[in-house]
Structure 1
Amino acid sequence: MTALPAALDAELSALLGAEGWRTDEAARAAHGGDDSRRHALPDGVALPRDRAQVAAIVRACRPHHVPVVARGAGTGTAAGAVPFAGGVVVSFARMDRILAISPGDRCAVVEPGVPNAALQQALQPHGLFWAPDPSSAEHCTVGGNLACNAGGPRAVKYGATRDNVLGLVAVTGTGELIRCGGPWTQDATGYDLTHLIVGSEGTLALIVEATLRLLPRPVAQAGLRVFYRDAAAAAAAVARLMAQPQVPAMLEFMDRSAIALLRRNGSDVPEAGAMLLVEADGDHDILPLALQALAEAAQGEGLLDLDVAMDGAARDRLWAARRALSPALRGIAPGKINEDVVVPVSRIPDLVAAAEALSAQHALPIVVFGHAGNGNLHVNIMYHPEDAAESARAQAALEGLFAQVIALGGTLSGEHGIGVAKRDWMARAFDAPTLAAMRAVKAALDPDGILNPGKVLPPL
């Protein structure tokens, strides 16, 4: 039974029809959670077909102070799409059109419900691609990528979502449409609302259209797999690799515990204190020279071994260990807290050492891997959720991790977002004047606080 005001229920039903307005228990349950494994029931689910309907939904909810929570495919891990305050979940599943592809302008115009994978497939005949490639790329939507500023392994060279968006159309908390940016790469006109809204997790506006920056698809790729004595030697190599004119297309790190896990699961990797996976891309003429320069930069104090993979099959074998890592974690324990923290590259060894210390202190396995080129590492705290004592130790280890990241001059999230999972740490990550400025922006775009309430900003 919905708790929505009867007048609002009737208005949304008339606006959206039976297929676009759902208050049945099955629909509410299906739209109440995300990959954070947290869940709360919305009072209703709206499935608009166009931007006018999105604006009308917000205008209808505003007088009743009913929360409006935007939703993509539900692949987020920070509970950013979970409707803890009830209200209306706006699913963009029916707004899934690619409106235009303009190869001459190297841009595409899309609705938020377009799956990342579907966009990449549509761009292939044009020899183009969109850079964001999160691990959920086969399932996530462009709107979800925009909401949390998703990244992925390619971000080291091509940037995260925010770096690959040219313009937006969005609905504010007052139900007004705003337009910012456009199909151009240079703009010094007014405030940059595009990059403000990207990464705001639906708390400032609901994105209903995006103009995306596209890139030429590389014609060739090659990779390196490099093993080091310890994390410090690997971090020093990362600094050398990132100083090359040819920026790696991917630069992934695995710590000692990740390598040990792979060995236990039969992967063909030697014992080592750390591993880097490096990929270069380009054309067939330049690629061998670029790979040679990266191989030379990878060598140095603490190097144990280096493998080169030029052809497709060899690259697949090289990256098989990285792809096998996340599934292998489930063999340690069914519970996983996966935090995507960021530290300066020079502090990667300190973060790894802190994770090892927290693992020993709380008697829990902690595995570290991720995007070394920009210091965005995934710290995986493994535990058994049914064990109350282990669950408490996992939460204590998480608190210790965040404290260490801030002490190392890092930040709480590189690509997963804040949601509610890290919200209360925002007061530790930012000083009072900075948080006040963020709240002022929120109040300007969402004066009644109905857009995804309780997310990102900590309560006063």
Structure 2
Amino acid sequence: MSALDAFLDQLAHVLPAERILRDAGSTWAYGMDNSRVHHAPAVVVFPEDHDEVAETMRLAYAHRVPVTTRGRGTGTAGGSVPVRGGVVLVTDRMTRVLDFRPEDRLIVVQTGMINADLQRIVGEKGFFWPPDPTSNALCTIGGNLGCNAAGPHAVKYGTTRENVLGLRAVDGQGRTIKAGSQTTKGVVGHDLTRLLIGCEGTLGVITEATLKLTPLPETRRLLRAFYPDMHAASAAVSRVMAQPATPAAIEFIDGNALDLLRKNSAVEIPSSAGAMLMIEVDGDESGIDATVERVVSAARSPEADIAVAQTAEEQARLWAARKALSPTLRQVAPKKINEDVVVPVSRIPRLIETLDDIATRHAITIVSFGHAGNGNIHVNLLVDPDDPAQMAGAEQALDEVFDAVLRLDGTLSGEHGIGLVKREFVSREIPPDSLDLMRGIKAVFDPAGILNPHKKLPDRPDEALPS
């Protein structure tokens, strides 16, 4: 009997047959995410609670069966692709609220819950959870935790790490991990919460999360500002972030993306506009006008066209147009290489200049937009995968984009994760001794190396990636 067959024989005593998929027709779809990379799993399982995850992992460790955790597969870096086959552990049936205490500003949920469902539940009590990725209608809390995803409002409210109090997880041997607490202060033990968040399932399967909630602001205002080019817009971002009235969000849209909006949205965009900022300001009704004026003053320049959205409907149209940008890019070219690099806010203008130069030299269309308030720019290289010359140019262009980001003291990923597709570049940012320490941490949590193998960190020479 093979190791996989022995694992499945014992797993049949843990999960009912209808929550274990083995036939290729059923499992095929679970071999890919939004990266479009595909590796077929041998089996797909659907646990419903922490104990079922723990027992599944205990058996996987005993039989050395690889396990890749998956939510809804919205990731773009191949993080939930089972490159060594084995088991895909799907969390989308783990959607229960385990505790909700508005008086303590917290909620405890299973990690298969959809972000938008969480926002609806806590919103009914006057709260929100700040992480709000563009995919929030589909992505799970577990996926947000795995990549430390954030979205537009991280500039004021922080990323996922800053909005989680504690976790419950399962390591690579099936042991239960308790991380954090239900209080905003606590220094007992090491900070496993922040270590597990962003690990992309390589250190453990996060099953439950205690989330820190924030009261909904009394009011919001949304500014849209047009500039003649990206350089003027990025300079405005630096000015806005240098004054004390921190915006809730600053979204950054380049000229190529504006062309898409002109064709595919109801937003009126002047023909002279080469870049756009969306700046959201929130707070108390009594002070919002003064805050808006400070932000407008910082964003203002002789060539800027700035206006405040007058109605909730107008705000909704602007946000809908921004969130539609990423999927709309596939109308421009059959393939997009989507990177979410981050640089210090003051260095955004230099990054944009470099991107323009790279695009020109390699004859590649580059569309940029993203969360400019914290320097998180989504750089999209649009190419034809059937054109060898264009693909070669894109590969060289991407290499130069990453080098430019590191020269500007930036980082290669802000929230999309490293997954499978970025691992070869990690050693450019992280020196060998630090990588060795990280591999040592991985070995403590996952001594058999079965948790989401070949992800997050570059492989050692003896760890060949399956073809």
CA distance in 2, matches of 1:246, 1:362: 40
- CA deviation map 1:253-290 (0-9, x unaligned): 12233234434557521223432110111232221121
Shift of 1:352: 1.2
Whether 2:280 is the aligned partner of 1:279: answer yes
Partner of residue 224, structure 2: 225
Equivalent position amino acid for 2:291 in 1: A
Whether 2:162 is the aligned partner of 1:163: answer yes
Partner of residue 290, structure 2: 289
Equivalent position amino acid for 2:299 in 1: A
Equivalent position amino acid for 1:367 in 2: V
- CA deviation map 1:347-366 (0-9, x unaligned): 11121122112211221210
Equivalent position amino acid for 1:6 in 2: D
CA distance in 1, matches of 2:358, 2:14: 53
Is the Cα contact below 8 Å between 2:235 and 2:349 reproduced in 1?
no
Distance 1:123-1:256 versus aligned 2 partners, 3 A rule:
same
Is the Cα contact below 8 Å between 1:131 and 1:155 reproduced in 2?
yes
Counterparts of residues 23-38 of structure 1 (less than 5 Å): 23-38=22-37
Partner of residue 77, structure 2: 78
Structure 2 counterpart SS, 1:147 = helix
Structure 1 counterpart SS, 2:14 = helix
Partner of residue 355, structure 1: 355
Partner of residue 314, structure 2: 314
Structure 1 counterpart SS, 2:78 = coil
Structure 2 counterpart SS, 1:434 = helix
Equivalent position amino acid for 1:411 in 2: T
Counterparts of residues 205-224 of structure 1 (less than 5 Å): 205-224=204-223
Equivalent position amino acid for 1:115 in 2: I
Comparing 144-153 with 247-256, which one deviates more in the overlay?
A: 247-256
CA distance in 2, matches of 1:79, 1:314: 36
Superposition CA RMSD, Å: 1.8
Shift of 1:403: 1.6
Structure 2 counterpart SS, 1:307 = strand
Equivalent position amino acid for 1:93 in 2: D
The percent of aligned pairs where both chains have the same amino acid is 50
Equivalent position amino acid for 1:442 in 2: K
Is the Cα contact below 8 Å between 1:173 and 1:450 reproduced in 2?
yes
Structure 2 counterpart SS, 1:285 = helix
Equivalent position amino acid for 1:174 in 2: Q
Equivalent position amino acid for 2:165 in 1: L
Partner of residue 448, structure 2: 448
CA distance in 2, matches of 1:93, 1:8: 22
Is the Cα contact below 8 Å between 1:221 and 1:310 reproduced in 2?
no
CA distance in 1, matches of 2:263, 2:357: 22
Is the Cα contact below 8 Å between 2:6 and 2:63 reproduced in 1?
no
CA distance in 1, matches of 2:128, 2:276: 28
Equivalent position amino acid for 1:309 in 2: A
Structure 2 counterpart SS, 1:420 = coil
Gap regions ≥5 residues in structure 1: none
Equivalent position amino acid for 2:93 in 1: R
Is the Cα contact below 8 Å between 2:342 and 2:414 reproduced in 1?
yes
CA distance in 2, matches of 1:261, 1:47: 39
Partner of residue 126, structure 2: 127
CA distance in 1, matches of 2:391, 2:242: 42
Equivalent position amino acid for 1:404 in 2: A
Structure 1 counterpart SS, 2:206 = strand
CA distance in 1, matches of 2:93, 2:226: 47
Is the Cα contact below 8 Å between 1:117 and 1:138 reproduced in 2?
yes
Shift of 1:72: 0.5
Equivalent position amino acid for 2:450 in 1: I
Equivalent position amino acid for 1:356 in 2: D
Counterparts of residues 230-309 of structure 1 (less than 5 Å): 230-263=229-262, 267-270=267-270, 271-300=272-301, 303-309=303-309
Distance 1:44-1:328 versus aligned 2 partners, 3 A rule:
closer
Structure 2 counterpart SS, 1:368 = strand
Is the Cα contact below 8 Å between 1:418 and 1:456 reproduced in 2?
yes
Is the Cα contact below 8 Å between 1:148 and 1:415 reproduced in 2?
yes
Partner of residue 459, structure 1: 459
CA distance in 1, matches of 2:32, 2:156: 33
Partner of residue 407, structure 1: 407
Runs of 4+ in 1 over 4 A off after TM superposition: 264-267
Whether 2:145 is the aligned partner of 1:149: answer no
Distance 1:12-1:320 versus aligned 2 partners, 3 A rule:
closer
CA distance in 2, matches of 1:383, 1:259: 19
Number of aligned residues: 458
Is the Cα contact below 8 Å between 2:102 and 2:125 reproduced in 1?
yes
Partner of residue 388, structure 1: 388
Gap regions ≥5 residues in structure 2: 461-467
Structure 2 counterpart SS, 1:234 = helix
Equivalent position amino acid for 1:130 in 2: W
Structure 1 counterpart SS, 2:124 = helix
- CA deviation map 1:56-97 (0-9, x unaligned): 111111132211111101000000000011111111122111
- CA deviation map 1:86-131 (0-9, x unaligned): 1111111221111111101101000011111111111121001111
Structure 2 counterpart SS, 1:38 = coil
CA distance in 2, matches of 1:24, 1:318: 44
- CA deviation map 1:134-181 (0-9, x unaligned): 111000110111001111111111111111110001101111001011
Whether 2:221 is the aligned partner of 1:200: answer no
Is the Cα contact below 8 Å between 2:134 and 2:323 reproduced in 1?
no
Partner of residue 179, structure 1: 178
CA distance in 2, matches of 1:281, 1:34: 35
Structure 2 counterpart SS, 1:14 = coil
CA distance in 1, matches of 2:6, 2:256: 57
Is the Cα contact below 8 Å between 1:75 and 1:136 reproduced in 2?
yes
CA distance in 2, matches of 1:141, 1:323: 17
